Amino acid sequence: MATLRDILRRINSVKSTRQITKAMKMVAAAQLRKAQLQAEQSRPYAEKMSDMLGHLSAVATDKLSHPYFEKREVEKQTLVVMTSDRGLCGAFNSNLIRNAEHWLKERDPEKVELVCVGRRGYQYFKKREWKIVEAYIEFNAEMKFDMVRGMVNQLTTRFVTGQTDEIYLLYAKFFTTAKNVPTFEKYLNIDKPESHGDGETVGAYIFEPTPDDIFSALLPRYALIRLQSALADSFASEHATRMMAMTLATNNAGEMIDSLTLQYNKARQASITTEILEVVSGAEALRG
């Protein structure tokens, strides 16, 4: 049976843990506000650019061509797995890795390669049979635009040069603080955008330079904003999951402190009662 000193030591230990989890929860909440704003701002930009490309496609008609649109026989696929660099974020990483494993099991390891974003995913897959061609483990759930541009250049170069035939993104799409969903999204090749409206309405505009030239200028930016939007969702989901995990840990620590305090009081009361009985028994023995 634990002594009073042991129980008191454990209470103090749990209190220290609760202070840490509470501080981590506040930090995650502050980071979440910033990441959520980035995620919400990037989506309309990507949607508007997609809408613009759709209108341009009505003018470009069948002449529209770009390396990003190239559709070829699939000999090699690339999966970009976006996990976190740090832990203590609940089931965030395990959900993503489980979905990645399910996707990979249906494919030949010789025809699939991985790009790991986040230390947790890299540490998991480097011990498996799947080939990792690139790892980005220094984001720390912060949008670093130089790294994003470098990542886009790496991915698009691999596709254009034929090193891979399809690229997919796997990330946690952010909806609310309590909801994020692991999402697969095809990154390259890009499906040709659907025409919006009839050609006559769009043709009333004068384009300078030609629509094809505009496509050539916009598509690299479109690839950038799509990857940036996915990363923003992933970072917001990570911070939200970590905040929820730290909230639960703080609440559980409080409940444990209450339970240990009750246990301490009962043990202390039993100790006092035992001492009183010993005193009374000793006094009765002296009388007798």
Mean pLDDT throughout 194-218? 63
Q: What is the DSSP code (8-state) at residue 130?
A: S
Bigger pLDDT: 167 vs 202: 167
| pLDDT number for residue 57 | 66
The runs of H, that is alpha helices, within 117-210 are 119-125, 145-160, 199-203
| pLDDT number for residue 62 | 53
Helix (H) or strand (E) holding 77: strand 77-82
pLDDT per position as a tens digit, 86-135 = 988 989 999 999 999 999 999 999 999 999 999 999 999 999 999 999 99
| pLDDT number for residue 201 | 47
- The pTM (predicted TM-score) of the whole model is 0.83
Average pLDDT, the chain: 87
| pLDDT number for residue 61 | 53
| pLDDT number for residue 199 | 47
| pLDDT number for residue 200 | 47
Mean pLDDT throughout 213-217? 78
**Across 43-57, 91-105, 190-204, 266-280, which has the greatest mean pLDDT?**
91-105
**Domain locations in the chain as residue ranges:** 4-24+246-279, 25-244
Bigger pLDDT: 163 vs 285: 163
Q: What percent of the chain has pLDDT over 70?
A: 90
Mean pLDDT throughout 268-286? 84
Which residues lie closer than 8 Å to 57 by C-beta, 6 or more apart?
64, 192, 193, 194, 195, 211
pLDDT per position as a tens digit, 148-179 = 999 999 999 999 999 999 999 999 999 998 89
| pLDDT number for residue 104 | 94
**The two three-digit tokens of residue 6, written as one number:** 């042991």
Bigger pLDDT: 218 vs 75: 75
Confidence of residue 202 (pLDDT cuts 50, 70, 90): very low
CATH topology of domain 4-24+246-279: Helix Hairpins (1.10.287)
Using CB atoms within 10 A of its CB, is residue 22 exposed (0-12), middle (13-18) or buried (19+)? middle
The CA distance from 98 to 117, in Å, is 16
Mean pLDDT throughout 258-287? 86
pLDDT per position as a tens digit, 222-251 = 899 999 999 999 999 999 999 999 999 999
116 is catalytic: no
CATH number of 25-244: 3.40.1380.10
Bigger pLDDT: 35 vs 64: 35
| pLDDT number for residue 209 | 76
Domain 4-24+246-279 shares a fold with domain 25-244: no
| pLDDT number for residue 175 | 92
Bigger pLDDT: 219 vs 201: 219
Bigger pLDDT: 54 vs 143: 143
- Looking at 24, 82, 89, 100, which residue is catalytic? 89
| pLDDT number for residue 194 | 59
Comparing CA positions, the residue from 164, 93, 172 lying closest to residue 134 is 164
Q: How many CA atoms lie within 13 A of 188 on its CB side?
A: 30
